[in-house]
Each structure stands twice: as structure tokens, then as C-alpha cells.
Structure 1
């Protein structure tokens, strides 16, 4: 119970403060977009770069950790796609958005701040790597799926170069990917960070967690009208929430406990990251491709409210199971 008071409550309290500030118009709810851009393009990349650049290269090739995360993500994605095909009779590129809802969590905006608040620098690297794994593969699948469908439908365009550019440019130039690649260069070649760059990156990294949490709360103000009694009967949304908050964590727990051999902090990071609510980034792609925007918004808000309870319970269980001490 003490860990809930010391770690969980302060983390979710920042989200609540963001919501209250937006609701009372102390901070404009429209500012959420600017804050999200700051986190995505500045603070979060700085945190990921710093964590990777200062890590020994051996820790970056923890294959059990990488595969445990990746299989958990893709497993939930693929199973959801099959459910949508065979039970809900869905088809075409929208299947990838369903899969993204079931496998893409708030790793950078909630997982990272929570783990670093609990375990400090020891959790920074596994949390950073997990964020990369949870982001890039799913984003790549969604982009490839929609660009492939667009290319097939556009009979006037046979430009392979344009297709490849539309697919790979957003992935390769994603701020998370660029920051990790930059960090890898420093780690692989054992380049010490100059003091000025060290201080610069660490300052920005420290701002990533609180700002991201505040932005989540602020963004909820614009979503407060979504929740209604009719949502509880919408089977598609309930299925996606169940896949994200129940199936993916259970699959990942099986992988961590039975299939792979992970050190305690890496195991806890893997499981906790899998249990996070549907990530806000999912809505960005739903909106970009004008697909399932309403269902995705519902899923994000409801899964976040549920996760406040489920994450708290899971976090306490994992800390006790692995006998870890919070800072």
C-alpha cells in the first residue's frame, strides 16, 4: 500500500491536475496539443537519447527482453486482427487500427514517468528500450498497411519510390527512432557525452515525465463528453480494451515467467509496459487515415480510467514478487 501512496498516487495526481487546470481554464485545453508536441519532439527524445547513450552496449542487446516485449505486442495485434475479421467481419486497412488499439500503450507518456519515479536511473534504459519497441513496429505496420491500400487504389500511380518514401520516411524520421539511433552511436562507439550535452539532455529528460502526464490530463478535457452509457454496449470498443488491458499483459506475463529469462527490473518493465492503457498516439493515426476515430477516442479514455486501478494493483504485485525496492 505504501508504494501506491508514494509512487502511483503522485503520478496519477499530475494527470488529475492537468485535467482540473483544463476544466477550470487555468490552462487552455487546446494547449494539450502544444504540450504533446513538446514531449514528442523535444523532451521524450532527449530522455531516450540520454538513457541509450549512457548505457553499455551489452545492455542494449538484451534479446530476451526485446523478444518478450515484441512477441507480446505482435501477439495482441495479430489476435485482435483475427477477432475483427472472423467475429466482427471487418476488412481492409482499418484492421491495422484495431490492432494498434490492442497493442500500442502509453509507454512514453505514462510508463516511462512511472518507472523512473519508482526506480530512478536503473529503470531508464529498459523503459526507453521498451518505449522504442512498443512504438516503432506497430507504427510501421499501420503506415505500411494504409500506404499499400492507397497505392493499390490509386491506379494512376505506379511510382515505387513515392510509395517507399511514404512508408519509410515517417518511421525512420520519427523523433523516437532518431533519438534512439543517436544514442546508439554514442553507446556503440563509447563516445563520452560532453558535459554541456549531458546537462542539456538530462534537463530535458527530467521534464519529459511530468509534462507528458500533465498533457494527458489536459487532453482529457476535450474528451469528457465521449463517455456515455451507450459506450458500455459497444462490443468493438470493449473488445479492444479487453485485449489491451487483459490479453496483452497475460500473454506478456507468460512470456516473462515461462519463456524468457529476465532480471527483475527488466521483467517488471516488460510486464508493466504491456498493461498500460491505449496510447494517445493511436488517435493520431486514426485521425490521419480518417478511420475509427470515435472508437479509438472511446478506447483511450475508458482504458485510462480502468488502468488507474489495474496498474496500481499490478505494480504492487510485481514489486513484491520481484522483491524490488523503490527509491
Structure 2
């Protein structure tokens, strides 16, 4: 792996370790486990997660959508990447939902309803910024980075929006079943639409997209403020990974982590490689970029998703960390595979 990438990884792991230490030694609860803040329900991880969900990530998403240049998007490259990605993500969601309903029948609760969407987002959402940008820049230069940035610009819009809708649909079904013993399709749709539109991921995406389509420029002061807020997302999400790992045992999560790792770092790049090469006939540079983007480890936004729905938090944090470690080995292998083709 290029030196510039190796220089980046220690900072990521050090930030995760800082979060782990903060959880282990109760630095965020006055140094005492079960201190007043914690006993009052002010769990530091929950507070930081809420700040990321409702303040920093919305600023990042709104700014990205408002500045997106649709006229110069490499659409063939995007289709070669997002086509197999969506097929895999929807496949994971379908299988997980089938297993959930087979295991619990009609008794699916609000605590488990979001499990299929959470596993799907972890298996599909790559760390395209913190790891992807330095990797692509180091391996493929400015031309490759331009393609990768186009992929990044639609990443949250497509994956988080889709899986948020699926999670909210499942939650709406559970709530309607509890409220009225079944609930009509129309009521479920209305509840899903309402919950989705006010979601802290979907709302800023739609607002930024509207701003973009209207053609308004972002005022410099607003742009700098949004950029400042968005810059907090990376370190905050890494801290949350460490906090989640420090508070709970990994016992019982390794099977799920292994499944996510195989899906995210083996199956997805394979599907992207086959689609890009045989279906879209991408040139070597474009093919290399999409395959490496597909091979990235899970991104920390997956943990924010898990924490919002309070499900699979430790598994998602462990998958993010361990797959990032594994990426130091798998990245050169995928680069070599594409180079041989």
C-alpha cells in the first residue's frame, strides 16, 4: 500500500483507541462509572451520536448536495459501481429480513425491525472519504480521484436514503400493528413518508438537492460554516467506534463481523469488477477506481445508522475497525488483480 495511505491509517486507529480509552476509563462521565450524567440518561456515546446525527452529518450532506455538479458526472463509472452495490445491498436486506421474520414470525419488535437495514448498510457503505480518498489519490492520481469524488458525492444520497426508507417502513409496520392490530397499507405509507422526510439524513439531502436544482450559489459565509460543521464528522465517528467497543464485549459479534467482511471486501469488489469489465467495458483507470471503491472497509456512517436505531452497535463498530485493519492487506491484492486484467 502506498506510504501516504500507511501514514493515514495510524491516525484513524489512534482516534478509535482514544474513544475506547474514554469508555474504559469513564473520561466522559467525570471519571466514575455510573456518574451523575450517565445515571441521568446522558450516555456520552448517545450524546455524541445525536450531535453527529442532527448537527454535523446534516451539514456535510447539505453542502455536498448543494455543490454537486450533475453536468460533469461520469455516469458510466457511477452505474458500474452503484449497479452491483444496490443489487448486493438489497439482496442482503432481503435475506436478513426473511431470517428475522422466520425467526420471530409476526412478533418483530421496534428493537429488531431495523436489523436488516443496519446489516445491509454496514455491508455496503464504504469508508470512501477517510480511507478511500488517500488510497485513490495515491494509487491513481488526480484523474482517478476525480472519478472517486463523483462516487463519494452520491454515496450517502443513495445508500443512506434507501436504507433509511426501508428501516422506517419496517418500523412503521411494527407500530401500526401494535396500534391497531394490523394497520392499513395507506397508514403504513403515510407513517413511513412522514418519518423519512424528517429524518436527519434524508431531509438535508433533499434540501441540498433542491438548493442545487434551483441554481442558488452557496454564500461564502454559509459554505464555510457548513464545511466547519462537516469537518467534525470524521473524528467524531471514529471516537464513537472506540466508545462502542469500549463499553461492550465483542462476544457473539464475530460471526456477523466475518459475514460483513466477506460481503464488503470480497463479494462487492468482485461484482463491481465483473460489471465494470464485462458490462460497461470501462477503461483500465476507471475500472481500477470502481473496484478499489468497492473494496473499501465499512464507513463510520454505518455506526451512526446503527446507533440511531439502537441495534447491532457493537457488531457494526467491530466490523468497521477490523475490516479497516484487513484493508491494509486486501487493498494491494485488489490493485494487483485489476492491474493484471
TM-score normalised by L of structure 1: 0.74
Give how far 1:190 is off.
2.8
- Give the distance between the partners of 2:242 and 2:176, measured in 1 at CA: 38
Give matches, 1:207-222, under 5 Å: 207-222=232-247
Corresponding residue to 1:279 among 302, 308, 316: 302
Q: Describe the shift of the 1:297–1:67 C-alpha distance in structure 2 as closer, same or farther (beyond 3 A).
A: same
When the two structures are aligned, how many residues end up with a matched partner?
311
Say yes or no: does 1:31 pair with 2:51: no
- Give the distance between the partners of 1:68 and 1:130, measured in 2 at CA: 10
Q: Describe the shift of the 1:92–1:246 C-alpha distance in structure 2 as closer, same or farther (beyond 3 A).
A: farther
Specify the alignment match of 1:299 in structure 2.
315
Q: Describe the shift of the 1:61–1:85 C-alpha distance in structure 2 as closer, same or farther (beyond 3 A).
A: same
Specify the alignment match of 2:55 in structure 1.
42
Say yes or no: does 1:255 pair with 2:275: yes
Corresponding residue to 2:223 among 177, 198, 205: 198
Segments of structure 2 that go 5 or more residues without pairing to the other structure are 30-37
Report Cα offsets for 1:278-322 as digits up to 9, x if no partner.
Answer: 9224534654xxxxx4xx245324423421222333445567788
Specify the alignment match of 1:290 in structure 2.
none
Corresponding residue to 2:81 among 61, 68, 91: 68
Q: Describe the shift of the 1:167–1:71 C-alpha distance in structure 2 as closer, same or farther (beyond 3 A).
A: farther
Instruction: Name the SS for the 1:193 alignment partner.
Output: coil
Give how far 1:61 is off.
8.2
* Comparing 166-175 and 307-316, the one that deviates more: 307-316
Give matches, 1:88-103, under 5 Å: 90=103, 92=105, 97=114, 99-103=116-120
- Give the distance between the partners of 1:140 and 1:286, measured in 2 at CA: 13
Corresponding residue to 1:145 among 170, 183, 196: 170
Q: Describe the shift of the 1:275–1:305 C-alpha distance in structure 2 as closer, same or farther (beyond 3 A).
A: closer
Is this contact kept in 1: 2:123–2:263, CA < 8 A?
no
Q: Describe the shift of the 1:193–1:301 C-alpha distance in structure 2 as closer, same or farther (beyond 3 A).
A: closer
Give how far 1:153 is off.
6.0
Is this contact kept in 1: 2:245–2:318, CA < 8 A?
no
Give matches, 1:10-21, under 5 Å: 10-21=11-22
- Give the distance between the partners of 2:276 and 2:155, measured in 1 at CA: 14
Give how far 1:197 is off.
0.8
Specify the alignment match of 2:324 in structure 1.
308
Is this contact kept in 1: 2:264–2:296, CA < 8 A?
no
Corresponding residue to 2:129 among 102, 112, 118: 112
Give matches, 1:314-325, under 5 Å: 314-316=330-332
Say yes or no: does 1:133 pair with 2:158: yes
Give how far 1:139 is off.
2.0
- Give the distance between the partners of 2:49 and 2:266, measured in 1 at CA: 27
Give how far 1:271 is off.
1.0
Is this contact kept in 1: 2:244–2:313, CA < 8 A?
no
Is this contact kept in 1: 2:65–2:208, CA < 8 A?
yes
Instruction: Name the SS for the 1:132 alignment partner.
Output: helix
Instruction: Name the SS for the 1:148 alignment partner.
Output: helix
Is this contact kept in 1: 2:56–2:230, CA < 8 A?
yes
Give how far 1:246 is off.
3.6
Report Cα offsets for 1:212-235 as digits up to 9, x if no partner.
Answer: 222222232212xx223x665xx6
TM-score normalised by L of structure 2: 0.72
Segments of structure 1 that go 5 or more residues without pairing to the other structure are 288-292
- Give the distance between the partners of 1:22 and 1:86, measured in 2 at CA: 33
